Amino acid sequence: MRDILIATANKGKAAEISEIFKNSDFHPYFLFEYPELLSIVIRENAKDFEGNALIKALLIGQASGLLTLADDSGLCVDFLNGAPGVLSARYSAERTDEANNKKLLTALAGVPLTERNCHYHCSVAIFNPVDNFIETTTGLWPGKVALESRGNKSFGYAPVFLAENFNYEKTNAELDPDELININHRGLAFRAALEILKNKY
């Protein structure tokens, strides 16, 4: 069993990622298990998801000395020219899930469901400070922005995201997380990263 560090302190993400690595030869740890790393200032100032994921993986990997994976993800809405995109987590001034969702719904007020196409994007960066191995993966998940916020079973933009897989009938936050990890953007990107790790190590 090889230990890896996932550069996130988000416990919602951690639960999903732990499920992906279950039954593999890699055991994921998370930033909330390394208090000394939580004080590191990470400036996600890249122009794309891959760049931000690399910033986090390199910074945390160098500080910890551990094989590190980091992700950056967000929601891209066609009608808004890809926004909120890399600014998804800080889309609103309050930078909370509720405020972000409210701002998004306000921006799309009056726009019919047929024109609310969007997709989740997740990029994962792998960095091993021992051999300087670097690789990235990407997962995309198409859907639509709902007309209103519904559900409380998940986090982020889940209450306003209608997955194509479920015929746009339920938001992610109305579905059990276990139903989503095999098909969502984060699952796709991290499973691809796991395959790279298997082949490399």
* Cα dihedral sign, 139-140-141-145: positive
| Both structure tokens of 65 | 């000395």
Q: What's the CA gap between 78 and 122, in Å, rounded?
A: 16
Phi-psi region of 77 (alpha: psi -120 to 50; beta: other; left: phi over 0): beta
E strands, the chain, in order: 2-6, 26-30, 68-77, 117-128, 133-145, 161-163
How do 133-145 and 68-77 pair as beta strands? Answer: unpaired
Q: What is the DSSP letter of 34?
A: -
Residue 50: phi and psi, rounded to 5, are -60, -45
72 is a catalytic site residue: yes
User: Of 72, 97, 131, 176, which one is the catalytic site residue?
Assistant: 72
DSSP per-residue codes, 149-186 = ----SS-TTGGGEEEGGGTT-SBGGGS-HHHHTTTSHH
Active site residues: 72
